[in-house]
Structure 1
Amino acid sequence: MTAYDANNIFAKILRGELPCYKVYENEHVLAFLDIMPRAPGHSLVIPKTPSRNIFDISPDDYAHVARGTHKIARAGMKAFKADGITVQQFNEAAGGQVVFHLHMHMMPRRDGIALLPPASRKEDPKVLEEHARLLISALAES
């Protein structure tokens, strides 16, 4: 398996070298909006430990990611008045992984509305700011 690349985009976000629309952070995970969302509120939850994917993260660190995703999913249901949530996690290129820092996708869903294709369009920054505000507000109420 290929080694972890400390210069991947999510590692740079964790180090503060690149900006993000942060919605949640604790000592173990960071959650932020996907700038090319497949649905309104599409968020990513990443571990702060350098982990390429599920194969090299410790079970304890993976549990922190799962707990963070659970928290963001509950907020996503509320903030976007969703009918459901899609959670996805990809491993290696053949499994669909594009950024090689473990991450979980949380996508609020509405009945009858399909997900946009992956990486199909960059969202307007004002829309992302509003979606981040909605998620942060829902998290504060939980």
Structure 2
Amino acid sequence: MNLAGNYTGSIGTAVANHAVLGCAGNGRIAATARKDYAAAAAAALAGENQAGKVYELAGDESFNLTEFAAEIARQSGKAVEYRNLSAAEYEAALIGFGLPARFAALLADSKTGASKGGVFDDSKQLSTLIGRPTRSLSEAVKLAIATPPAPGPH
């Protein structure tokens, strides 16, 4: 789960439209920053006795999309709410934004999985592996708001 890309990449759109769209209901998401995943990869590659080990790489802090929208609103100073759609409505919205239909279906399926606990884990295996707490939702939103999007189509 990559908080940096999968969620914070849409913050500009969320602020502009005053909404985070999804179909995850109140599902908890245990995501963190890309740097935490990179640190985990380095630790696993450099560590001894790693052959065959499987880690659940989840952030220490979980959130739902209502909390994500509230954090965006808090830090941006703009009204942002979470709009929970049906999977079909969310998929149609993504297609309307220009995503290919197959990719939109994949994302809608992923968000539906989040509503069923598919992206939640509280084992803290990632922070144990990297030897420090993972980055928080607040940190990730702050960085995303402070970093303008790269030039090009979005």
TM-score over 0.5 for the pair: no
The structure richer in strand per residue is 1
Which structure has the larger Rg over C-alpha atoms? 2
TM-score for the superposition, normalised by structure 2? 0.29
Highest RCO, 1 vs 2 (Cα 8 Å, sep ≥ 6): 2
